[in-house]
């Protein structure tokens, strides 16, 4: 808790010149969240066009890093209009009631080198579940890039219920890949 408060105070105290590798803001134009599902063994992928992300990462104190992401689910874009329309309906994401998904980190664990593991709570469609994802960190010019992926089990969140709960047709596993690029200052 003390550490969290310290982080917040550090973010608020951003008037101080930021250390070169300190990450406190994300460049959404250079960030992306993509997903791949499968129906009948056929991959279908897409992206979310609109989301916001806050990351506070100090390489000197990686374990204190925090991240949160909020996704506007209306920006679901698979490139197939029929699918985009279907997924917004009640059996799937039910956007009329749950327009956004949210992730809030609870732990950030250094795994050695540029590898980390983030844990946190993912909320979709009124359900909150713990997830973990491996993350790699790299420099891109003056910016820092966080890349990671995890497998989302759609039925844990009630995504695709009723007849769509049949995982022989639509797989339960959805691969989610994310890339967050820091604002280079």
Partner 1 sequence: MQPSDTKTAVQAVRYGATAIALHWLVALLLLCGAAMGLYMVGLELSPAKLKLYSWHKWVGVSIFLVALVRVLWRLTHPAPPPPASLPAWQQRAAWQTHALLYLLLFVIPLSGWLMSSALGVQVVYFGVLPLPDLVQKDKVLGEQLKLLHLSLNVTLLLLVALHVAAALKHHLLDRDDVLRRMLPARRPLR
Q: Which residues bind partner 1 (CB under 8 A)?
A: 39-44, 79-80, 82, 86, 163-164, 166, 169-170
Read off the tokens for 167: 């995982």
Measured from the CB atom, the residue of 22 and 154 that comes closer to partner 1 is 154
Measured from the CB atom, the residue of 15 and 42 that comes closer to partner 1 is 42
DSSP assignment string, 106-164? EEEEEEETTEEEEEEEEEETTEEEEEEEEEEEEEETTEEEEEEEEEEEGGGGT-S-GGG
Q: Closest distance between partner 1 and the C-beta of residue 94, in Å? A: 16
Q: Does residue 91 contact residue 164 with C-beta atoms inside 8 Å? A: yes
Measured from the CB atom, the residue of 78 and 136 that comes closer to partner 1 is 78
Question: Phi and psi of 98, rounded to 5°?
Answer: -125, 80
Q: Closest distance between partner 1 and the C-beta of residue 101, in Å? A: 22
Measured from the CB atom, the residue of 5 and 40 that comes closer to partner 1 is 40
Q: Closest distance between partner 1 and the C-beta of residue 35, in Å? A: 15
């Amino acid at each position: 808790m003390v550490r969290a408060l310290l982080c917040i105070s550090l973010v608020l105290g951003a008037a101080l010149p930021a250390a070169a590798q300190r990450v406190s803001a994300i460049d959404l134009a250079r960030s992306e969240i993509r997903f791949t599902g499968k129906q009948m063994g056929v991959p279908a992928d897409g992206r979310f066009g609109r989301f916001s992300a806050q990351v506070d990462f100090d390489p000197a104190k990686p374990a204190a890093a925090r991240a949160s992401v909020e996704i506007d689910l209306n920006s679901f874009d698979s490139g197939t209009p029929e699918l985009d329309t279907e997924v917004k309906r009640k059996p799937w994401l039910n956007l009329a009631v749950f327009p956004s998904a949210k992730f809030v980190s609870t732990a950030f664990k250094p795994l050695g080198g540029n590898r980390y593991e983030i844990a946190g709570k993912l909320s979709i469609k009124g359900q909150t579940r713990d997830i973990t994802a491996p993350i790699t960190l790299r420099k891109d010019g003056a910016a820092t890039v966080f890349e990671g992926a995890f497998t989302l089990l759609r039925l844990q969140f009630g995504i695709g219920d009723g007849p769509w709960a049949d995982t022989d047709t639509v797989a339960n596993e959805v691969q989610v890949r994310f890339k967050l690029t820091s604002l280079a200052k």
